[in-house]
């Protein structure tokens, strides 16, 4: 999964969402009962078949940046909303005119379901070379067009599931969560195991792959660097910081890790040595996005922060009205970030706030779900947004 299962880790937790009304807000509406919901189709989304946002945070290095993509710069409207009416945990990915999220595949232009139907609690899928790879209880490979299953790789997990996969050079990399600490490398063509690596402890969050190295963090706050081809350990390091809830991000040979103490660590990706450490004074620091030499990261104290990637110098900091609940993504000099039910946008160069959009809450019996899942997809002046109650939105400029 993208992080630990929200059923286990976030159920019952509160996210403050005061004062989130925006230009496209649904605030003031009672929670919807989706039992009789159908596709809401206002217009076709103008999605090019070649447009791609293939994985969680765009790539295997978790940069959160697609240098070829653009998103809507002005106020947005819903082109369509597909209501899966299920408790979902994955973000959205875009491939071959399709969008995969929350256990299904839909047409990216019309929003109509075309296949899929895997476990909605599974991780954000990853697309590569005609297949969608899903970390569920086991690792699944699905035909990207039809959603039909091509192969299944069985893991040692009893209940924890798998983190979102990374695919590089014909190999799928993933890790177990909670009850299975194993890191797996699997042949993407046939589902055969290539190697496995056993860290000292289990982990919860996605791994990263860059420059033929796999990076993963366990519950002891140890970062492992593993040769992507052989599975041999290259180095490990346990910094004097709580990084066990960090998702590794790689950019220009530097490994970036947020800490539970409110710092951001920059380590040399080749050997784990210190490059710089920046105290941000915000409580825990969430995963970063990196674009054009700048890092963008959520601080716990309701703020979005931009730092120079090379030395950690603060470029700007902007307050928002709720705690940011997912990693940012960047496209065409716009930063997209989520707080609860609300999607915010900021100018990447100066932090000026742009448009907002608020998703709806859905009633499931005696409780409600409404937050946006980690894993936005930005392509072709569109934003695809997947939510916890299983809604999938296509947003376009008004």
Which residues lie below 8 Å from residue 228, measured CB to CB, with a gap of 6+?
168, 169, 171, 173, 185, 209, 212, 213, 214
- The parent domain of residue 353 ranges over 6-397
Confidence of residue 2 (pLDDT cuts 50, 70, 90): low
* pLDDT surpassing 90 at residue 210: yes
CA angle 125, 382, 57 (to 5 degrees): 35
Provide the number of structural domains found in the chain.
Answer: 1
CA–CA distance, 161 with 33 (Å, rounded to integer):
29
What pLDDT score was predicted for residue 47?
A: 97
**How many CB atoms are closer than 10 A to CB 14?**
8
Does the residue 1 lie in any domain? Answer: no
Mean pLDDT of the chain: 88
Bridge partner list, 347: 334
What tens digit of pLDDT does each residue of 109-139 get? 999 998 776 766 678 999 999 999 999 889 9
Task: Note the pTM of the prediction, 2 decimals.
Answer: 0.90
Q: Mean of the pLDDT values across residues 79-104?
A: 89
CA–CA distance, 258 with 242 (Å, rounded to integer):
8
* pLDDT surpassing 60 at residue 349: yes
Comparing 364 with 293, which gets the higher pLDDT? 293
CATH number at residue 219: 2.130.10.10
Q: Mean of the pLDDT values across residues 142-170?
A: 88
* pLDDT surpassing 90 at residue 96: yes
Confidence of residue 294 (pLDDT cuts 50, 70, 90): very high
């Amino acid at each position: 999964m993208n992080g630990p299962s929200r059923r286990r880790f976030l159920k019952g937790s509160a996210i403050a969402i005061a004062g989130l009304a925006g230009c496209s807000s649904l605030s003031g509406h009672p929670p919807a009962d989706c039992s009789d919901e159908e596709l809401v189709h206002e217009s076709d989304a103008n999605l090019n078949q070649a447009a791609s946002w293939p994985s969680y945070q765009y790539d295997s290095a978790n940069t959160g940046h697609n240098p070829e993509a653009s998103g809507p710069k002005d106020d947005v409207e819903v082109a369509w909303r597909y209501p899966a009416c299920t408790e979902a945990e994955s973000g959205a990915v875009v491939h071959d005119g399709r969008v995969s999220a929350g256990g299904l595949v839909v047409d990216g232009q019309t929003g109509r379901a075309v296949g899929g139907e895997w476990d909605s609690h599974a991780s954000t899928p990853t697309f590569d070379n005609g297949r969608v790879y899903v970390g569920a209880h086991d690792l699944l490979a699905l035909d990207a067009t039809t959603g039909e299953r091509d192969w299944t790789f069985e893991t040692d997990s009893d209940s924890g599931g798998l983190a979102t996969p990374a695919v590089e050079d014909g190999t799928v990399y993933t890790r177990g969560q909670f009850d299975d600490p194993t890191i797996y490398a699997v042949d993407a063509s046939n589902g055969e195991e290539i190697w496995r690596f056993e860290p000292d402890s289990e982990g919860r969050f996605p791994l990263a792959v860059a420059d033929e190295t796999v990076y993963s963090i366990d519950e002891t706050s140890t970062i492992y660097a593993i040769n992507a081809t052989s599975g041999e350990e290259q180095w490990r390091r346990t910094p004097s910081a709580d990084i066990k809830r960090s998702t590794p991000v790689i950019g220009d040979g530097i490994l970036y890790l947020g800490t539970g103490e409110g710092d951001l660590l920059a380590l040399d990706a080749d050997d784990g040595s210190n490059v710089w450490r920046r105290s941000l004074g915000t409580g825990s620091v969430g995963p970063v996005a990196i674009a054009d030499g700048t890092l963008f990261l959520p601080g716990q104290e309701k703020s979005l922060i931009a730092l120079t990637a090379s030395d950690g110098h603060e470029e700007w900091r902007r307050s928002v009205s709720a705690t940011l609940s997912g990693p940012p993504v960047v496209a065409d000099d716009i930063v997209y970030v989520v707080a609860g039910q609300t999607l915010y946008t900021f100018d990447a160069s100066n932090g000026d706030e742009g448009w907002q959009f608020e998703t709806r809450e859905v009633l499931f019996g005696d409780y409600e779900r409404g937050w946006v899942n980690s894993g936005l997809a930005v392509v072709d002046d569109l934003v695809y947004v997947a939510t916890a109650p299983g809604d999938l939105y296509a947003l376009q400029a008004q």
